[in-house]
């Protein structure tokens, strides 16, 4: 199947004339028609004839030309419905594209559709949605992870070659880990957020999701960079990430802050065989990560979602889900007079301490390896019915968003018949190093090649 290939392999077939973008698009659409009813991935699919016409007219100017992809429905798309999985925006048709969408369109990538997610990014399971829960392709009785659940499942189930997700507290890495694909949370500011529907503006990051690390590197080369429309985007030069993937890992120091489970122990053995040095490091503030995040993120979402309060758009506030209302209320309380210093200010001080923890750790090691999540994919209903358990699912992921650093999640095995993954965290703008480590690991393992039997 062409959808099992890497982006560079497929691009080579395109240019030799062995395969056409129309062929690959038809494969995607056939898989969508067959499996989307079981998995509930898409909120909006583009018209088939429109897509095929676009595929027939591809000009092969970049490696992504003619490559089909999906987009988490948290990004505005000109003339294509954008909902953020909430009935508040059920009929919203934007009149402009997010920067990441424009870059991909200009490169010739083909957008198939917009994927289901936790409404506004509020959740870790893609159950908090007004469009029904997304189901895990490895076990449909389990969740896909969130909030970019639909995007992860589309790649895992071979409905697209790659996806663009969005990570505020693990929303790319969690579903990547639970669905057996690779996903990158970028350094804050590495990719423009213009056109992304904000959850928490100081934590949100735009990033790629794909079957393997090589594909992620090619996508980031194209979407990264400064944007005059986003004042928080960084002017730091964008490397050719795919150029150094094959360099060895000799003298790379990997820090371990937690006792690893068996799958991660096995992964560390592979990394050590590739030349890396493994050492223990300490992240004392990790135990405060969840309470810090769940004061900062709700405070910012309470501000950001004020624009949808019914005064400006005439929507009834009951269109917000219970989980979204919970986060709005927590954030509003934390910012209120008399409580700001006790909650929000304290959380910002804890944020500084978390950043200091990472800076101290990176003086000893080059990167840090941690689990993606504390558990494998949970059963449907477990997280959405238990707000505290829902928050704790983010335990190992939120620190990177708080600190603004990048983190790469890749698959490393199976437990209970479903995928598990680990994440490689590095200093700001160390994506090139993370890709090198992840790619070398994937050269000596096959976990990233596994696909669900739906």
Distance (Å, whole) CA 136 – CA 176: 11
Burial class (CB in 10 A: 0-12, 13-18, 19+), 159: buried
Distance (Å, whole) CA 141 – CA 135: 7
Q: Hey, CA dihedral for 275, 281, 285, 286, is it positive or negative?
A: positive
**Phi, then psi, of 53 in degrees rounded to 5:** -65, -40
**Phi, then psi, of 443 in degrees rounded to 5:** -75, -20
Q: Measure the CA dihedral 163/164/168/170, to 10°.
A: 20
Distance (Å, whole) CA 247 – CA 212: 17
Q: Hey, CA dihedral for 375, 121, 83, 98, is it positive or negative?
A: negative
The question of whether 147 is a catalytic residue gets the answer: yes
* Catalytic member of 72, 103, 185, 436: 72
CA atoms within 13 A on the CB side of 255: 19
* Catalytic member of 126, 147, 205, 233: 147
* Catalytic member of 84, 171, 217, 242: 171
Q: Which residues pair with 420 in a beta bridge?
A: 413
The question of whether 385 is a catalytic residue gets the answer: no
Segment (H or E) for 408: strand 407-415
257's tokens: 């802050």
Q: Both ends of the chain: CA-CA distance in Å?
A: 15
Paired sense of beta strands 418-425 and 367-371, if any: antiparallel
Distance (Å, whole) CA 97 – CA 161: 21
The whole-angstrom distance between residue 111's C-alpha and the CA centroid of its chain comes to 17
Using only the alpha carbons of the chain, give its radius of gyration. 20
Which residue, chain included where needed, has tokens 């995928």? 419
The question of whether 8 is a catalytic residue gets the answer: no
Query: What Cα–Cα distance (Å) separates residue 292 from each residue in 233, 334, 352, 398, 408?
Result: 24, 12, 11, 9, 22
434's tokens: 């993370």
Is the separation of the CB atoms in 420 and 376 below 8 Å? yes
Query: What Cα–Cα distance (Å) separates residue 333 from each residue in 122, 142, 169?
Result: 17, 33, 21
Q: Which residues are catalytic?
A: 72, 147, 171
């Amino acid at each position: 199947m062409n959808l099992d290939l890497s982006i560079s392999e497929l691009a080579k077939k395109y240019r030799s004339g062995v395969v056409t973008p129309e062929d690959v698009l038809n494969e995607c659409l056939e898989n969508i028609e067959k499996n989307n009813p079981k998995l509930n991935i898409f909120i909006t699919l583009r018209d088939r004839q429109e897509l095929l016409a676009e595929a027939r007219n591809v000009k092969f100017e970049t490696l992504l030309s003619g490559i089909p992809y999906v987009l988490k429905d948290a990004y505005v798309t000109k003339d294509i419905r954008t909902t953020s999985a909430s009935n508040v925006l059920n009929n919203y048709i934007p009149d402009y594209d997010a920067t990441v969408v424009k870059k991909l369109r200009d490169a010739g990538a083909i957008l198939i559709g917009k994927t289901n997610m936790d409404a506004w990014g509020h959740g870790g399971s893609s159950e908090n949605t007004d469009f029904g829960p997304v189901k895990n392709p490895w076990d449909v009785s389990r969740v896909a992870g969130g909030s970019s659940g639909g995007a992860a499942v589309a790649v895992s189930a071979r409905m697209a070659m790659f996806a663009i997700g969005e990570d505020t507290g693990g929303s790319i890495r969690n579903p990547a880990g639970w669905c057996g694909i690779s996903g990158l949370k970028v350094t804050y500011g590495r990719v423009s957020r213009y056109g992304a529907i904000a959850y928490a503006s100081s934590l949100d990051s735009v990033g790629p999701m794909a079957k393997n690390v090589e594909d992620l590197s090619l996508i980031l080369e194209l979407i990264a960079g400064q944007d005059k429309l986003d004042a928080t985007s960084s002017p730091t030069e964008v490397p050719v990430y795919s150029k150094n993937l094959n360099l060895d890992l000799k003298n790379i120091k990997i820090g371990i802050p937690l006792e690893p489970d068996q799958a991660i122990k096995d992964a560390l053995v592979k990394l050590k065989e590739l030349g890396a040095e493994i050492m223990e490091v300490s992240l004392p503030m990790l135990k405060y990560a969840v309470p810090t995040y769940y004061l900062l993120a709700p405070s910012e979402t309470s501000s950001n979602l004020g624009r949808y309060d019914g005064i400006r758009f005439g929507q009834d506030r009951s269109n917000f889900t219970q989980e979204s209302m919970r986060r709005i209320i927590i954030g509003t309380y934390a910012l209120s007079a008399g409580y700001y210093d006790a909650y929000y200010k304290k959380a910002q001080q804890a944020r500084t301490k978390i950043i200091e923890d990472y800076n101290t750790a990176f003086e000893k090691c080059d990167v840090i390896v941690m689990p993606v999540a504390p558990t494998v994919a949970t059963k449907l209903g477990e997280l959405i019915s238990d707000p505290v358990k829902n928050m704790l699912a983010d335990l190992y992921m939120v620190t990177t968003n708080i600190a603004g650093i990048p983190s790469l999640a890749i698959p490393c095995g199976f437990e209970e018949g479903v995928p598990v993954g680990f994440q490689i965290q590095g200093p700001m703008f160390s994506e090139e190093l993370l890709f090198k480590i992840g790619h070398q690991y994937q050269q000596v393992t096959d976990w990233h090649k596994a696909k669900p039997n739906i």
